[in-house]
């Protein structure tokens, strides 16, 4: 039986079905995460890779809710989450989820965190949904459907450049302090200015919303960046291809993404040009 999208005559596609579920799950999961945020003094903070790489039961329980709902609705889909790893599927669609991106700001009471949900198909993120409950903002994009912030269409301005706007820079202990310092030095020397808020996903959402002109992080995981990359592309921007095939999906890689006016400068900053 063909389902018809309410208000349209076209049949619901596999993408439509997953996009609707991703938006619903992002909103439900971020409400749950916000409840944990508002009682963060009850959380036990643990560390992973180093003292700066923090996690709590909030991350784990939020991911479990998303993972269980996807498994119930779409058992044939694959799932990769930051906290519980990769489960293969056979539908060709893989959900890539960070239940709380910006965990360090989260546990320190800083509102720059979000729930990030991507769906990968055909070697690229075809759905990107980011929910930032502290700002009551839902960013949503699906391949060929454009990008929206709380239902408002996002379109990037080609006149914004590295020199007249802010560039987001991310860093973690996978990259040496000298490398990060050199990136910042070269960005400032090129007439740019940097900002870092601890959430790569949220900064990529800000690129899609035109608040930042671009984002570069030399080593980031798929669950931190793929939803944001989809949003940026669907808002009229670009991103350097992020490896998602096979076991590359679980490995880190650089993320370079931005609007049309920053491409040459940002690729040069990232050593791509």
Which residues are near ligand LIP by CB under 6 A?
Answer: 82, 98, 101-104, 170-172, 199-201, 217, 220, 224
Count of helix runs (H) and strand runs (E) in the chain? 7, 15
Hey, what are 210's tokens?
């035109």
Residue 259 · residue 160 · CB < 8 Å: yes
- Residue 105 C-beta: closest distance to ligand LIP, Å: 8
CA 82 – CA 260 distance, rounded (Å): 30
Residue 82 pairs in a beta bridge with: none
Distance CA 103, CA 57 (A): 11
Residue 94 or 103: the one with the smaller Cβ distance to ligand LIP is 103
* CB 169 to ligand LIP: min, Å: 9
Q: Of 67 and 74, which CB lies nearer to ligand LIP in the complex structure? A: 67
- Strands across the sheet with 78-81, in order? 85-87, 78-81, 93-101, 114-121, 124-132, 137-142, 147-149, 152-153
Please report how the helices 200-208 and 222-234 are oriented relative to each other, as an axis angle in degrees rounded to 10: 0
Query: For ligand LIP, which is the closer residue by CB, 237 or 252?
Result: 252
| Sequence-ordered list of residues with C-beta below 8 angstroms from that of 251, at least 6 positions apart, any chain | 243
> Which residue of this chain has its Cβ atom nearest to ligand LIP in the complex?
200
- Please identify, using beta-carbon distances, which residue of 130 and 235 lies nearer to ligand LIP: 130
**For ligand LIP, the closer CB: 35 or 50:** 50
We find the least distance from the C-beta atom of residue 13 to ligand LIP, in angstroms, to be: 30
State in angstroms the smallest separation of the CB of 112 from ligand LIP: 10
Question: 33 or 262: whose CB is closer to ligand LIP?
Answer: 33
Residue 90: CB minimum distance to ligand LIP, A:
28
Q: How far is the CB of 122 from ligand LIP (least distance, A)?
A: 25
* CA distances in angstroms from 244 to 12, 36, 94, 229, listed in the order given: 26, 31, 10, 13
């Amino acid at each position: 039986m063909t389902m018809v999208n309410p208000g349209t005559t076209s049949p619901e596609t596999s993408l439509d079905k997953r996009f609707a579920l991703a938006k619903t799950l992002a909103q439900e999961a971020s409400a749950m995460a916000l409840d944990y945020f508002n009682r963060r003094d009850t959380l036990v903070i643990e560390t992973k890779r180093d003292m700066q790489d923090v996690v709590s039961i909030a991350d784990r329980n939020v991911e479990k809710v998303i993972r269980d709902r996807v498994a119930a609705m779409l058992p044939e889909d694959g799932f990769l989450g930051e906290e519980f790893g990769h489960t293969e599927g056979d539908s060709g669609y893989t959900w890539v989820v960070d239940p709380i991106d910006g965990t360090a700001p989260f546990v320190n009471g800083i509102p720059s965190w979000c729930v990030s949900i991507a769906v990968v198909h055909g070697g690229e993120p075809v759905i990107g949904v980011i929910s930032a409950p502290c700002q009551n903002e839902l960013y949503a994009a699906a391949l060929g459907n454009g990008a929206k912030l709380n239902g408002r269409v996002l379109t990037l301005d080609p006149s914004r450049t590295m020199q007249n706007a802010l560039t987001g820079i991310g860093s973690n202990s996978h990259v040496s302090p000298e490398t990060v310092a050199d990136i910042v030095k070269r960005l400032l020397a090129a007439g740019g200015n940097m900002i870092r808020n601890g959430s790569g996903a949220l900064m990529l959402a800000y690129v899609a919303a035109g608040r930042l002109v671009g984002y570069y992080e030399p080593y980031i995981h798929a669950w931190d960046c793929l939803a944001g990359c989809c949003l940026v592309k669907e808002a009229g921007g670009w991103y350097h291809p992020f490896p998602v095939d096979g076991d590359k999906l679980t490995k880190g890689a650089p993320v370079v993404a931005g609007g049309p006016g920053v491409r040459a400068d940002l690729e040069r900053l990232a050593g791509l040009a």
